[in-house]
Amino acid sequence: MRLKVKVPGSCGELVQGIYRGEPILITCPIKKFSTVEVSDEFFCVEGLGEKSLLMLEKILDLLQVEKNFGIKLTSEIPKSKGMASSSADLAAVARAVANFSNKFLSTLILAEIAAQIEPTDGVFFDGVVAMNPVTGKLIKNICLQEKFSVAIFDFGGEIDTLNFNRRSDFKIFELETDLNFDLVEKSALANQKILYKPHLEDIINFAKNLGAVTVNVAHSGTVAGIFFHATDKFIDKKISEIQNRFDCIKFLTLTEVIGGGFYD
């Protein structure tokens, strides 16, 4: 028997700050995945890092099952860029083991366990959500009114996301059920005091003049996302214009904003 579970990564966060006295982030799931395969046809453990191995240990203990299977993890999500690679890994490991063992594991419990290991991104919740990255608590479902393509650019370097996500000096925001794109940009610019990204305001203005919808950042990472309507036929040309204008960023990939959750 073989079983696979995929969990998406993210393009940073749409918003990160404080909401009603607690840390929040609004997820930004994208079409890039961590994939975990569990099988009784092999018994090796491949691709799991320290945090994923800890999640495996915790889930086996919680579900009270023995490890009579092999497990392999592969990922197309860049590491240490603020793209939720660890959160996707942890969630995919937990759900794959639970499904293989015919055990129920709620997403809320999984989120609590993931947050015990490190502050977590909620890419494993269905859709787009506001959640507490420190506790894993689900706060609010957020509605996106249309489909978006997102061009992801990297400012370079690597970030220890654990330290940044434990900060308490994020801006205080109010949240609506429908996503407020002005809030996305305000959150990105407010984060400049915490993790500076060169020429970010100029990049935002330039991109919006080209027809971009909004620009977000990884608040504890090195990437920014430039959002375009999915129907825009000139995205490739606009990406080239942005890259040619700003040598402080490097184009990584063009992808889609999707719903979070678990994929087979």
Q: Which of 17-21, 60-64, 157-161 is modeled with the greatest confidence? A: 60-64
Q: What pLDDT is attached to residue 170?
A: 66
Lowest mean pLDDT among 52-56, 161-165, 173-177: 161-165
**What residues contact residue 55 under an 8 Å CB cut-off, 6+ apart?**
89, 90, 93, 94, 113, 114, 117
Q: What pLDDT is attached to residue 245?
A: 98
Contact of 3 with 37, CB cutoff 8 Å: yes
CA–CA distance, 247 with 89 (Å, rounded to integer): 32
pLDDT surpassing 80 at residue 206: yes
Q: What pLDDT is attached to residue 158?
A: 76
- Average pLDDT, integer, range 147-158: 94
Tokens of 195: 């993790």
pLDDT surpassing 90 at residue 167: no
pLDDT digits (tens, 9 = 90+) for 75-131: 999 999 999 999 999 999 999 999 999 999 999 999 999 999 999 999 999 999 999
pLDDT surpassing 80 at residue 168: no
